[in-house]
């Protein structure tokens, strides 16, 4: 593959002369802080993740403090970021490090890779940034830069593609300064070789960029997999009794595990308000004679593999049914301290 030397030399020059991208974790050597930033930035825009990162490291500045935190508090801090398995793995890994190594973060790539919620990309980021170990990071920015410059049309989400791009990234890596190199190629993909409207005319690599030469900038990188989306309809009963509300903590392997919600009845789709409230499922929960204070319109949230639609039914309960005894009863103040999925919190202010 041609032009590897040109690529590396000009990327290094760009980083020295033109890279002004600022983030609080750039140049960070603390593996804990690097870990927190990388987990937050998975599936999250930098602008949104920045505020969460700052709050996280201020409240829990090291592994031991995070491990000793109440699980509910950590989920509440994470509220709104989505992809809550990240938070679950964060808690599990903090507890593991605190218990198994006295709070000392592993300092070898292979050991870091064994931690829950950490894949090859995150392990490479921590190993190279914190410990200057020669492992290349391969994220969306890196895929895009390499695919366009070298004209690689192998799907980046295929096994063959991941293998090819990882091998190329490691070959190009500056082994003496792996952390600086990794950060520079990610920054370059974020501010120059952008997904849309890349700055090709001012790019230091444009003389030998294969995508630019062959007019394939918009076509690269290639993705091969189509995500199958599942549609679901959630009916939430916001049941109030004696100025308290009934809530449930989600469990199992479904979405929003360990977050709280109001009492949920999932249906195949929307029903008329009358038909829904007269259904056996609803009557078994609220009994008869309860007052419906308000019914929301249909609300939607798109997740990676699912689209959630649903309604909220505000109900003033007349009397407690046996069914409700299995749920937690909380005050409005307690309600505000519980972590809820965005689908619920985006409605609550109404």
pLDDT tens readout for residues 36-64: 999 998 888 888 899 999 999 999 999 99
Residues 262 and 202 in one domain: no
Domain-located, residue 198: yes
Q: Using the 3D structure, point to which of 213, 241, 263 is the last residue of a domain.
A: 213
Q: Show the domain range for 36.
A: 4-213
Residue 33 has pLDDT above 80, yes or no: yes
Q: How large is the average pLDDT for residues 218-233?
A: 88
How many domains, the chain? 2
pLDDT of residue 67: 96
Exposure b/e, 185-211, CB count within 10 A at least 16 = b: bbbbbbbbbeeeebebeebbbbeebbb
CATH of the domain at 93: 1.10.340.30
> How far is Cα 140 from Cα 162, in angstroms, rounded to an integer?
11
Residue 286 has pLDDT above 70, yes or no: yes
Residues 254 and 200 in one domain: no
Read off the pLDDT band of 308 (50, 70, 90): very high
Residues 181-200 pLDDT 10s: 999 999 999 999 999 999 99
pLDDT of residue 228: 81
Residues 207 and 273 in one domain: no
Domain-located, residue 32: yes
Residue 129 has pLDDT above 60, yes or no: yes
Residues 171 and 312 in one domain: no
Residues 193 and 250 in one domain: no
Residues 151 and 34 in one domain: yes
pLDDT of residue 348: 81
Residues 156 and 244 in one domain: no
Kindly report the average pLDDT of the chain as a whole number: 93
Q: Using the 3D structure, point to which of 179, 213, 247 is the last residue of a domain.
A: 213
Q: How large is the average pLDDT for residues 208-235?
A: 92
pLDDT of residue 1: 64
Residues 193 and 328 in one domain: no
Residues 203 and 339 in one domain: no
Q: How large is the average pLDDT for residues 95-106?
A: 92
Instruction: Quote the percentage of the chain above a pLDDT of 90.
Output: 81
Residues 105 and 178 in one domain: yes
Domain-located, residue 295: yes
Residues 248 and 183 in one domain: no
Domain-located, residue 78: yes
Contact assessment for residue 143 and residue 136, using Cβ atoms and an 8 Å cutoff? no
Q: Are strands 230-241 and 306-316 parallel, antiparallel or unpaired?
A: parallel
Residues 209 and 108 in one domain: yes
pLDDT of residue 2: 77
Residues 14-23 pLDDT 10s: 999 999 988 8
CATH of the domain at 261: 3.90.79.10
Residue 106 has pLDDT above 70, yes or no: yes
pLDDT of residue 26: 83
pLDDT of residue 349: 60
pTM of the model as a whole: 0.85
Residue 38 is a catalytic residue: yes
> How far is Cα 232 from Cα 182, in angstroms, rounded to an integer?
40
pLDDT of residue 321: 86
Residues 150-164 pLDDT 10s: 999 999 999 999 999
């Amino acid at each position: 593959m041609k032009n590897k030397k040109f690529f590396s030399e000009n990327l290094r020059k760009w980083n020295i002369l033109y890279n002004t991208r600022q983030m609080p974790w750039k140049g960070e050597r603390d593996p804990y802080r690097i870990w927190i930033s990388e987990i937050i930035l998975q599936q999250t825009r930098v602008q949104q993740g920045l505020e969460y990162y700052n709050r996280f490291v201020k409240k829990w500045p090291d592994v031991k403090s995070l491990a000793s935190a109440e699980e509910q508090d950590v989920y509440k801090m994470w509220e709104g970021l989505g992809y809550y398995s990240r938070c679950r793995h964060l808690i599990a890994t903090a507890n593991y490090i605190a218990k198994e190594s006295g709070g000392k973060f592993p300092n070898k790539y292979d050991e870091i890779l064994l931690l829950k919620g950490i894949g090859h990309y995150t392990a490479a980021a921590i190993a190279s940034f914190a410990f200057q170990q020669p492992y290349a990071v391969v994220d969306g920015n890196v895929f895009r830069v390499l695919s366009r410059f070298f004209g690689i049309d192998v799907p980046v989400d295929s096994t063959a593609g991941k293998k090819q791009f990882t091998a190329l990234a490691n070959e190009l890596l500056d082994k003496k300064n792996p952390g600086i190199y990794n950060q520079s190629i990610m920054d370059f993909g974020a501010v120059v070789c952008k997904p849309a409207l890349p700055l090709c005319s001012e790019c230091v690599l444009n003389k030998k960029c294969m995508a630019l030469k062959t007019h394939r900038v918009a076509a690269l990188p290639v993705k091969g997999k189509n995500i199958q989306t599942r549609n679901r309809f959630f009916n939430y009963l916001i049941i109030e009794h004696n100025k308290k509300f009934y809530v449930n903590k989600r469990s199992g392997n479904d979405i929003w595990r360990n977050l709280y919600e109001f009492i949920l009845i999932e249906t195949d789709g929307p029903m008329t308000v009358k038909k829904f409230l007269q259904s056996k499922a609803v009557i078994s929960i609220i009994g008869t004679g309860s007052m419906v204070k308000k019914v929301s319109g249909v609300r939607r949230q798109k997740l990676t593999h699912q689209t959630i639609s649903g309604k909220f039914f505000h109900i003033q309960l007349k009397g407690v049914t046996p069914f409700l005894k299995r749920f937690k009863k909380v005050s409005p103040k307690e309600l505000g301290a519980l972590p809820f999925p965005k689908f619920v919190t985006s409605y609550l202010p109404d």
